Amino acid sequence: VEAYIGQEDLASHARAGRTARNAIMFGSPGVAYVYLVYGMHHCLNVVTEAAGRPAALLIRAVEPVSGVDAMRAARLDATRAEGSGRDRIESLPVSRLAAGPGLVCAAFSIDRSQNEIDLCNPASELRLEMATHDEALPVATGPRIGISYAPEPWLSMPWRYFVRTSAALSVVG
DNA sequence: TGAATGATGCACT
DNA sequence: GTGCATCATTCAC
C-alpha cells in the first residue's frame, strides 16, 4: 500500500485542491476512491482521514490466499488481449494475479462503479473485513512508486508499506 | 475547445 | 532499459 496524505503532499491527487475527481478523498474515511490512470487501469484507494482532510491509501498489490480461480477469471475478463495474451494470464503464478494497482482492480473486477462505496458496511459488494487469523509479517517501507513528477521531500517519503517476503509485490522493494 | 499528463502494465531488446 | 497502448482529468485559452 501507499499513503497519500493531505493537500500538502505534492504526490497526491489532492495537491491542487478539491476537484470533481478527488472529492471522495475529502469525504468520510472508510470509503473507496477508485480512479482511472493512464487511460486504461483502475486504482483502488481507501479514504483514511476525517472528512475535510484529503488522504487515502492506494492498494498497490494483493497476495491471493483464496478465490484464486475467480481472480484469474476476472483477469481474463478484464483483458482485451487475445490468443497468446490470454494464455499468459492462464499460466500466471498465483502470486502475480494481483501484483500491481491496476491488476488488483482487474482481479477483483473493480472499476469506477465502486467509487464512493462504503468499505466498512458488511452489506457492501466491496468491503474490508477483519482477518480470521493474524500473523506477524515482516513489513518494510520505501518511497512511493510512479510519482517522479513530485518534488522532494514527497518523492522520497517512505510512505510505501510492503511485506518484504511476499512474492506478490508490484515492484521489488 | 484543445493540449498535456499521468499513483500502469506489457512486449520487446 | 526503452517504447507504447489509450483516455479521463485538469487547466489554459
Instruction: Give yes or no for CB of A23 within 7 Å of strand C.
Output: no
Starting at the earlier edge strand, list the strands of the sheet with A32-37.
A32-37, A41-47, A55-58, A2-5, A160-163, A139-142
What integer pLDDT is reported at residue A138 of this predicted model? 95
In chain A, residues 50 through 69 whose Cβ sits under 7 angstroms from any atom of nucleic acid strand C: none
How is residue A69 written as a grid cell? 480461480
What integer pLDDT is reported at residue A133 of this predicted model? 84
- Give, for all 173 residues of chain A, the pLDDT tens digit: 999 999 999 999 999 999 999 999 999 999 999 999 999 999 999 999 999 999 999 999 999 999 999 999 999 999 988 888 899 999 999 999 999 999 999 999 999 999 999 999 999 999 999 888 888 999 999 999 999 999 999 999 999 999 999 999 998 76
Q: How far apart are CA A48 and CA A55, in angstroms?
A: 6
Q: How far apart are CA A49 and CA A157, in angstroms?
A: 18
Which amino acid makes up residue A1?
V
Alpha helices in chain A (DSSP H): 68-78, 84-90, 101-107
CA of A34 to C1' of C8 (A): 12
Check: CB of residue A7 under 8 Å from CB of residue A1: no
Answer yes or no: pTM beyond 0.85: yes
What integer pLDDT is reported at residue A85 of this predicted model? 86
CA of A133 to C1' of C1 (A): 42
Q: Kindly report, residue by residue over A78-94, the tens digit of the pLDDT.
A: 998 888 889 999 999 99
User: Which bases of chain C come closer than 7 Å to a protein CB?
Assistant: 5-11
